[in-house]
Amino acid sequence: MRLVIARCSVDYAGRLTAHLPSAPRLILVKADGSVSIHADDRAYKPLNWMSPPCTLKEGSGDDAGVWTVVNKAGEKLIITMEEILHDSSHELGVDPGLIKDGVEAHLQELLADRIETLGDGFTLIRREYMTAIGPVDILCRDADGQTVAVEIKRRGEIDGVEQLTRYLELLNRDPHLAPVRGIFAAQEIKPQARVLATDRGIGCAVLDYNALRGIEDDKLRLF
């Protein structure tokens, strides 16, 4: 991970335009290629960002202070550096991933066991489908046979949508699985997360924990 603290302005050009005037900011460049711009407030949420896959090009000559980040859709994040106050890189290694609390873990177990809750004809491929960047909570197929990746949260927020987006980008590179669509499932989904999910073509499913526990299981089991 590369950490840069700089006085900079930021311009986004894509489906819409946005401008951040000059101010000191933290710029995070992660190993997955993502770039995010942060202020010293707003908790963990960036002011602007570009999700992978994307490329970062640092200018040279007269444009030495200009960083241009471009994603596969051709959208651009242009960072104009006025003064760099700090620039360092750190190797974090492979992250073990998020350890879910009891409710999220049980939601995953219940939904996998009753996958038809997501729609008629859904069938389970497996829980905790491992990828190079962590496990997908549930991988399944819909009634049309399309692969579906499901990310489960107790409370659905923007970071969960971002996590599922990264999984989908990776899974869609596998010709044995592609095309893969996503479903963001949670007991509660925040409006901003729903808007972002919809914008990225990700479906949303609100899970009723008590109802899932009470659904009659008609599967035969050996005890």
pLDDT in tens, 169-187: 999 999 999 999 999 999 9
Domain match, 117 and 198 both: yes
Within 8 A by CB and 6+ apart from 137, the residues are 108, 127, 128, 150, 151, 152
Q: Is residue 176 part of a domain?
A: yes
Handedness of CA 200, 206, 209, 215 (dihedral sign): negative
Within 8 A by CB and 6+ apart from 66, the residues are 58, 59, 78, 79, 80, 81
Q: Is residue 126 part of a domain?
A: yes
Q: Is residue 34 part of a domain?
A: yes
Domain match, 162 and 81 both: no
pLDDT in tens, 111-139: 999 999 999 999 999 999 998 888 999 99
CATH assignment at residue 174? 3.40.1350.10
**The tokens 């859709």 sit on which residue?**
73
Give the total residue count for the chain. 223
* pLDDT for residue 50 is more than 70: yes
Domain match, 50 and 127 both: no
Domain boundary residue among 87, 111, 134? Answer: 87
Range 148-170 average pLDDT: 94
Q: Is residue 96 part of a domain?
A: no
Domain match, 114 and 207 both: yes
Query: Which structural domain range is residue 57 located in?
Result: 1-87
Q: Is residue 182 part of a domain?
A: yes
And the tokens for 55? 């490329």
